[in-house]
Chain A
Amino acid sequence: KAGVTQTPRYLIKTRGQQVTLSCSPISGHRSVSWYQQTPGQGLQFLFEYFSETQRNKGNFPGRFSGRQFSNSRSEMNVSTLELGDSALYLCASSLGTGRNTIYFGEGSWLTVV
């Protein structure tokens, strides 16, 4: 069974640009969560989508947004990129109902220059 797939794996953007990251969850999983990982702030929750609806949201500015499609695939978007947005962005999926194991992808490395 394929794991959580994230694309692209690496990307470099310029300050002020916007970026879209994609996540394909494990087949059958309806919940997709996004996390930001940086050396300074560690792993921080961005948001969670379940059945195309945002179910939870972390403490990030509105420049960070996401969506989920009917096939459970998800995208996150960061607009007006800042240097501090350089991070590893991790997608995680689970069945989303009850107490289910959360599986992480390998992440998308974003560098803002």
Chain B
Amino acid sequence: QQQVKQSPQSLIVQKGGIPIINCAYENTAFDYFPWYQQFPGKGPALLIAIRPDVSEKKEGRFTISFNKSAKQFSLHIMDSQPGDSATYFCAASINAGNMLTFGGGTRLMVKP
């Protein structure tokens, strides 16, 4: 049973565009929502994370928007660059523990 649903599965944008990746969760006990970036041959690396008491968080060009009532959260990448081409995973955990439930991933391609 997939508890975190991620869309789209793949996304192509032009350089400078703003790709948006969406996630929806079912378990209301989740209280920590990180986003990971994974390049081919590498392990996932934490990009940014949010907790449900905050509706938006920005770190550099990455922004998470969080809608607790809709049980949805999304990642926006401002001024996207070809170097941002990677697979992005949303995740969720309870009590910010180490048992992460991941979304299915979004393969992003940023064209020059």
Residues on A close to B: CB < 8 A? 4, 31, 33, 35, 42-45, 48, 55-56, 58, 90, 92, 94, 96, 98-107
Contact = CB atoms under 8 A, between A and B. Distances in A.
A104 B97 contact: no
Contacts of A35: 100
B41 interface: yes
Contact of B46 (A33, A58, A102): A102
> How would you classify the secondary structure of chain A's contact residues: helix, strand, loop or mixed?
strand
B96 A33 contact: no
A110 to B, nearest CB: 15
B28 interface: no
A43 B4 CA distance: 11
20 contacts: A4-B43, A31-B98, A33-B98, A42-B103, A43-B44, A43-B89, A43-B91, A43-B100, A45-B100, A45-B101, A48-B99, A58-B99, A102-B34, A102-B100, A104-B43, A104-B44, A104-B45, A105-B43, A106-B41, A106-B42
A74 to B, nearest CB: 12
A9 B83 CA distance: 25
Interface string B27-38: 000001010100
State the 7 A-B residue pairs at the shortest beta-carbon distance, nearest first: A104-B43, A99-B96, A43-B102, A56-B99, A33-B98, A106-B43, A104-B44
Nearest to B42: A106
> How would you classify the secondary structure of chain B's contact residues: helix, strand, loop or mixed?
loop
B102 A103 contact: no
Contact of B99 (A45, A90, A105): A45
Interface in B56-112: 89, 91, 96-105
Contacts of B97: 48, 56
A35 B91 CA distance: 13
B99 A42 contact: no
Contact of A92 (B42, B89, B98, B105): B98
A103 B37 CA distance: 12
